[in-house]
Structure 1
């Protein structure tokens, strides 16, 4: 198994887990969604569906074009949810206890572009 395939499976499984939590327990995601986002519960529902569909498309073995489309979708998804990550960071830093703290948020912020690249690379969109 190549590194690309192994990382594609890892990324796909991680997105499936994230999809599950978006759908099964949306409240924490709704809380960190910026106030300017309309219909937060619906947005969180659809982001969970998008994560799950992207993960399934990335993990499927039969249609490389579908895998590439899923990879592009997951990369765009990672870009689109970045404002929620920033909002979560700001909300936590405003708490008296610091929330999850810099040790959580700084790596998370730094890894967001990596997730974009990883989706594109493991999906065969870029080399």
Structure 2
């Protein structure tokens, strides 16, 4: 019998994978907004945005597939590392946006987004069955 926690973990795994597939798709079909928020120090920003989209899609497929726990875990680790690596672009976006005369999206958008990044990292690891924290491992 599958526990409620296991069912929640599976549902969140598919939700997270779906969100990453959509985000990856957006990176590929409409890269301009992502290129704009990529720090200028990043070389070949157009190519980086394309390949980050491909990474999101590939990681999401690995996370969602039900056939190999190791592949699922690899997808979880890859998406966690991805979320960590794009955090500077999110910080850059906040700084650029808040510097606008009209205040851009405002702190009500950017502060939760900054706090969401560690949650996304944990969620990729937890739904990918890499970590059980903060829960006790299930047998």
Give TM-score scaled by structure 2 length. 0.90
**1:53 aligned residue:** 58
Counterpart CA distance in 2 for 1:89 and 1:77 is: 18
Structure 2 unaligned blocks of 5 or more: 1-5, 133-139
Counterpart CA distance in 1 for 2:92 and 2:21 is: 23
Flag as ranges the 4+ runs of structure 1 deviating above 3 A.
none
Alignment of 1:65-84 (within 5 A): 65-84=70-89
Q: Secondary structure at the match of 2:78?
A: helix
Equivalent residue pairs, number: 127
Counterpart CA distance in 2 for 1:101 and 1:2 is: 36
Larger Rg: 2
Give TM-score scaled by structure 1 length. 0.98
Counterpart CA distance in 1 for 2:101 and 2:118 is: 29
| Structure 1 position 114 matched with structure 2 position 119 | yes
CA RMSD of aligned residues (A): 0.7
Alignment partner for residue 96 of structure 1, among 101, 104, 118? 101
Counterpart CA distance in 1 for 2:62 and 2:77 is: 11
| Structure 1 position 12 matched with structure 2 position 17 | yes
Higher relative contact order (CA 8 A, sep 6+): 1
How much has 1:27 moved relative to structure 2? 0.2
